[in-house]
Amino acid sequence: MRPAEQETTIADMFDRIAGRYDTLNALLSLRQDARWRNVLVSWLPKRQNGSVLDVACGTGDILTTITRRRPDYRSLVGVDISENMLTLARKKLGDSAKLQKMSAEELSLPEESFDAVSIGFGLRNVVNKEKALSEFFRVLKPGGVLLILEFFPMDSGILNRLFQFYFQQILPLIGGLLSDRMAYRYLPRSVGTFYTPLALAGRLRTTGFQMGRQRSFLFGSCRLVEARKYSI
Ligand SMILES: C[S@@+](CC[C@H](N)C(=O)[O-])C[C@H]1O[C@@H](n2cnc3c(N)ncnc32)[C@H](O)[C@@H]1O
């Protein structure tokens, strides 16, 4: 499949699961997803009249958390390739954020225009991740911060086997029963082929970022990664 077709397939899949996405997320992560997003939002750099771009914004949960917890952020933009996800985000956010259908790989946004770029459980789904990371770097102001919240493949060991069992057996089963089986089979596959934390750090440095803090949740299966664009 060509990259453009792959992206359309992914957008179609998220269009199909959009209606039940929030409920299943809360159920499958035992509400931990909200806690992880709260930590991400608390890591946004302190700015007066801050501007943030949330990429792969989905149903808008990171942006709604920002509206509640970070009044210092006045300009909120969200982009996603799934129209159905964006429709749900628009219902939650009203006019408190500007939401646009756009791919992470090709942001039609001016360079050096955001204090922060966030992406939660989205980078794993992007076909050309290197291109997306370069785009995040381009749109960030010097000194701006990139925050990535994502599931990562785990090292070997008993916990890994436990999580593999959950991701590969339980999660597609529940997701398949309540939503779309194909989509919830895709989740463990996309985690398995994603960067390791070390490989992501390497890629971020190659893109020009300086690595910042990292925090792991659920024994390292989910991580929050901070990277900063140098201010010269
Ligand atoms: C697992 S959801 C995450 C949604 C939200 N960020 C959250 O925290 O719940 C992944 C989202 O990534 C979007 N997505 C996938 N590929 C994308 C791309 N290339 N550019 C922008 N969004 C993309 C999907 O449409 C979907 O809404």
Question: How is the chain split into domains, by residue range?
Answer: 3-155+196-229
Does 56 sit in the ligand 1 pocket, CB within 6 Å?
yes
Does 126 sit in the ligand 1 pocket, CB within 6 Å?
yes
Reading the block at residue 84, the tokens are: 């159905």
66-74: average pLDDT = 97
Q: How many A from CA of 60 to the centre of ligand 1?
A: 10
Distance from C-alpha of 11 to C-alpha of 224, rounded to nearest angstrom: 24
**What local confidence, expressed as pLDDT, does residue 207 receive?**
97
The answer, yes or no, to whether residue 231 has pLDDT greater than 70, is: no
108-118: average pLDDT = 98
Q: How confident is the model at residue 155 (pLDDT cuts 50, 70, 90)?
A: confident
Query: Smallest Cα–Cα separation from 59: which of 118, 18, 107?
Result: 18
**What local confidence, expressed as pLDDT, does residue 26 receive?**
80
The answer, yes or no, to whether residue 232 has pLDDT greater than 70, is: no
Reading the block at residue 151, the tokens are: 């599931």
Does 152 sit in the ligand 1 pocket, CB within 6 Å?
no
Q: How confident is the model at residue 153 (pLDDT cuts 50, 70, 90)?
A: confident
Query: Smallest Cα–Cα separation from 116: which of 202, 60, 207, 49?
Result: 49
Report whether 145 contacts 212 (CB < 8 A): yes
Ligand 1 atom nearest 14 alpha carbon? 25
Amino acid at 195: Y
Q: How confident is the model at residue 36 (pLDDT cuts 50, 70, 90)?
A: very high
Does 57 sit in the ligand 1 pocket, CB within 6 Å?
yes
Distance from C-alpha of 64 to C-alpha of 68, rounded to nearest angstrom: 6
Distance from C-alpha of 32 to C-alpha of 139, rounded to nearest angstrom: 30
Does 120 sit in the ligand 1 pocket, CB within 6 Å?
yes
The residue to mutate among 7, 64, 82, 108, having the most atoms of ligand 1 within 8 angstroms of its beta carbon, is 82
142-167: average pLDDT = 84
**What local confidence, expressed as pLDDT, does residue 213 receive?**
97
Does 78 sit in the ligand 1 pocket, CB within 6 Å?
no
Secondary-structure class of domain 3-155+196-229 per CATH = alpha beta
41-45: average pLDDT = 98
**What local confidence, expressed as pLDDT, does residue 178 receive?**
76
Does 122 sit in the ligand 1 pocket, CB within 6 Å?
yes
The answer, yes or no, to whether residue 30 has pLDDT greater than 80, is: no
Q: How confident is the model at residue 111 (pLDDT cuts 50, 70, 90)?
A: very high
Q: Which of 88-102, 118-132, 161-175 has the lowest mean pLDDT?
A: 161-175
| Dihedral sign, Cα of residue 49, residue 123, residue 93, residue 106 | positive
